[in-house]
Amino acid sequence: MRCSNCGRELGEGAWKVCPGCGADPSAPRAGQPTGRMPAVPQQPGAYPGYPPQAGTPYRQYPQAPYQQPGQPYSQPTQAYPQGYAAPNQAPQGYAAGYAQAAERPGGSVLLGILTMLMGAVVIGSTFLQWVTSPAGAGVNITGWFVMQGGFEVFGGGFTLVLSEQGTIFFTGFFSLLLGALVLVGGIVTLIRRRPGGVVTLIFALAAAALSAVNITMVFAKMEGSAPGVGLYLFAGASLAALVLGIISLSSSS
């Protein structure tokens, strides 16, 4: 018999203690295989792949939906990052943006042309008679004539506003300017009704107010004179443009 710990040769018999190392000669050395299988753990899931005990439910995995015979197999829905879409699909938000663009009001050819026409009439009224001269005077008093200082009663030279002798009279400069701006409003209305309506409304309102002041001054301050056809066209075209601007705004809402 040989000691399993120190390897000393022992005689025959039942040795409990080795006289050389004092260890049990029959005990296995540390790290030496014993030839016996390790105990199998009884707890489910202690080792990967270890089958669960009876009564423990297995893990459920998603399955593809059942398809009737003859129907094409449907691919499961896949999650894509935000802002991206599956192949052959429009990006997220594209449909909503397209719908908003389709609902956005566009321009109006009819309202744009009519507004441009009224702006042209306001400009043209500058060169027509604004004030009828007293009998025998023989002077054609137009908005252009007043702007160039031809109204000698109020002094000569280029003039924007006549304010002599308690009179406030706006010259043809404002009919040219406001008529051009109303014309621009008509061009914008051809493309977009709302912005064009805003531009037309603002400048047509100013033109109507100035023409009303001029007509009032002619009746109140200029004895023997009366408003001419040019001043009435200035006022009428401004009011018409004002109405067109309101229509453009209301039709675009």
C-alpha 235, offset from chain centre = 39
pLDDT in tens, 128-169: 999 987 655 567 889 999 898 765 544 567 889 988 778 899
Domain boundaries, the chain: 1-27, 109-251
Stretches in the chain below the pLDDT threshold 70? 1, 14, 29-105, 134-138, 150-156, 253
Q: How confident is the model at residue 78, as a pLDDT?
A: 55
Task: Say if CB 114 and CB 246 are below 8 A apart.
Answer: no
**pLDDT at res. 195:** 95
b/e map of 98-128 (b: 16 or more CB within 10 Å)? eeeeeeeeebbeebbebbbbbbbbbbbbbbb
Beta strands 169-170 and 161-162, pairing class: antiparallel
User: How many residues in total does the chain contain?
Assistant: 253
List 9's β-bridge partners, or say none: 2
Strand locations in the chain, DSSP E?
129-132, 141-142, 161-162, 169-170, 226-227
- For residue 168, give the 3-state DSSP assignment: coil
